[in-house]
Structure 1
Amino acid sequence: MASIRARRTVVSVVAGGLFALGVMAPGPAAAPPLPRAVQVDGAAVDSSSPKVPRPPQLPADFQGTGRYIVRDLGIDVPFTWQGRDGNSQMVAGGQEYPIWFTNLIYENTLYTLTYKWPNIPLFPPRPCSKIPGFFNRQIFNDKLKTARFVGPEILQGEKDRHVDHWRVGVVGGSTVPGEFFRFPIALGDIYVDQRNPSQWWQVLQFGLQNLFDPELDEWFTMTTFDHRPGVVTLPDRCPPPTS
């Protein structure tokens, strides 16, 4: 899934899966602004507060549409994210766009396939990356349970959305508090509906899983998201889960 493509390592993929892409891209100034988040209760909320809501969860069945945005490259392309029976697939862009990739959780396996990206050779075609190890929606949701609650916010766009802002990350190095060596590997800011934490509206992905982007950050923002079963298709270029 997410911003987790062929060059990404296993540990960075877990956070990037936050989740599962010829017209030239518009210039950076032409890309429309992202919805602006406004914190409605002042400072960030202490995660120990009894008022902390349920953390984000990825539903088994859903379908959503939106935009995938790489701001420093001036890229703003169509984006779809669909789930069926626990499998899920993200697709950003397409053959006629400057980027095109797909990320999948499929039959307990994580896949990422980049068809097109600026300054990446198209020939020979890039292989589909089947990430080693067992990975599924339950593992992803277990990781989301460790997310930190930032606070309630309003995403201001064509339609204002009342959301809960969460942050989840992967950090390398010491896990002991104090002055010890550690470094960030991946970070995700997740905005879900305040009434339903399985309804996703916006995600920022930042870190090593975004190595194709000079600024290491990529967004997706949803315009629709509902809980009807979607369509998940493993590309022909990807090896089956049992191989």
Structure 2
Amino acid sequence: MASTRTRRTLVAAVAGGVFALGVIAPGPAVAPPLPRAVQAVDSSSPQEPRPPQLPADFQGTGRYIVRDLGVDVPFTWQGKDGNSQMTAGGQEHPIWFTNLIYENTLYTLTYKWPNIPLYPPRACSKIPGFFNRQIFNDKLKTARFVGPEILQGEKDRHVDHWRVGVVGGSSVAGEVFRFPIALGDNYVDQRDPSQWWQVLQVGFQNLFDPELDEWFTMTTFEHRPGVVTLPDRCPPPTS
């Protein structure tokens, strides 16, 4: 998600396309294990399933994992009336950040990151441009279906694996240098693509992470309104 003014969000991107501007290599750490092994399953379904979509109202809890930094912290993702907010870690954890889609605006605010001094005041970045849940879902419609899989854990979850990316530069091969901005591997429920269970993010939004692989994995995901709060230090959408 290297400036703290531009840290993660498109869930995705992808939960929303967040960009960073540099690379900082933290020191060694013991990596926690993956939350779940991902097992591909054979399927000859004649019809491609529906791509992921972010619901207007939801709330979920899980873990945010950066394996090469040895980080495994609490994670929440909530939505209300089309606004949404991700929060990883907290004041007592080595990682603490929040990303929001709020009133047609994209925000990211990083409070803490391992081995990186974030000098106060820690500004909230308001990403330029118009961005909302509809734009996010329209981008998800371009995702490519990888296949049906099983996320193995305390409870095995039957999911569909989708990949979506954002690329900068010209779409004409060889015309100008192209570069990946964000890439998300999204695992959603096979029966309900608006129920998210796991996301692996790579791209500019991960440049704080030396191995470019940040995960969040959900333990719960419910279709009922959550709580979305714009931090005091974030400028209002109309400013």
User: Is the structural similarity TM-score above 0.5?
Assistant: yes
Instruction: Work out whether residues 4 and 118 of structure 2, in 8 Å CA contact, stay in contact via their aligned partners in 1.
Output: no
Partner of residue 114, structure 1: 110
> Post-superposition shift, 1:184?
2.2
What whole-Å deviation, never above 9, does each CA across 1:191-241 have from its counterpart, x for those lacking one?
Answer: 000000000000000011111111122100000000010000000010111
Separation in 1, partners of 2:9, 2:87? 16
Say which of 176, 185, 192 aligns to 2:172.
Answer: 176
> Counterpart of 1:96 in 2: which secondary structure?
coil
> Post-superposition shift, 1:64?
0.1
> Counterpart of 1:142 in 2: which secondary structure?
helix
> Post-superposition shift, 1:40?
0.6
Instruction: Work out whether residues 13 and 182 of structure 2, in 8 Å CA contact, stay in contact via their aligned partners in 1.
Output: no
Q: Do structure 1's residue 228 and structure 2's residue 224 form an aligned pair?
A: yes
Say which of 66, 77, 82 aligns to 1:81.
Answer: 77
Alignment CA distance shift 1:180-1:234 (3 Å): closer
What whole-Å deviation, never above 9, does each CA across 1:107-165 have from its counterpart, x for those lacking one?
Answer: 00000000111122243232000011110000000000000000000001111000000
Instruction: Work out whether residues 65 and 224 of structure 1, in 8 Å CA contact, stay in contact via their aligned partners in 2.
Output: yes
Q: Which has the higher helix share?
A: 1
Say which of 14, 26, 32 aligns to 1:18.
Answer: 14
> Counterpart of 1:198 in 2: which secondary structure?
coil
Q: Do structure 1's residue 130 and structure 2's residue 129 form an aligned pair?
A: no
Partner of residue 65, structure 2: 69
Instruction: Work out whether residues 39 and 153 of structure 1, in 8 Å CA contact, stay in contact via their aligned partners in 2.
Output: yes
Partner of residue 241, structure 1: 237
Separation in 2, partners of 1:128, 1:178? 37
Instruction: Work out whether residues 9 and 108 of structure 2, in 8 Å CA contact, stay in contact via their aligned partners in 1.
Output: no
Alignment CA distance shift 1:173-1:137 (3 Å): same
Report how many residues are paired.
227
Q: Do structure 1's residue 8 and structure 2's residue 9 form an aligned pair?
A: no
Give the letter for the 2:212 counterpart. L
Separation in 1, partners of 2:129, 2:142? 21
Give the letter for the 1:131 counterpart. I
Identity rate, percent: 81
Separation in 1, partners of 2:140, 2:205? 17
> Post-superposition shift, 1:179?
9.6
Q: Do structure 1's residue 151 and structure 2's residue 147 form an aligned pair?
A: yes
**Which has the higher mean CA deviation after the structures are superposed, 64-73 or 210-219?**
210-219
Instruction: Work out whether residues 115 and 125 of structure 1, in 8 Å CA contact, stay in contact via their aligned partners in 2.
Output: no
Aligned alpha-carbon RMSD (Å): 2.3
Partner of residue 23, structure 1: none
Give the letter for the 2:162 counterpart. W
> Post-superposition shift, 1:171?
2.0
> Post-superposition shift, 1:177?
5.8
Say which of 169, 185, 190 aligns to 2:181.
Answer: 185
> Post-superposition shift, 1:15?
6.0
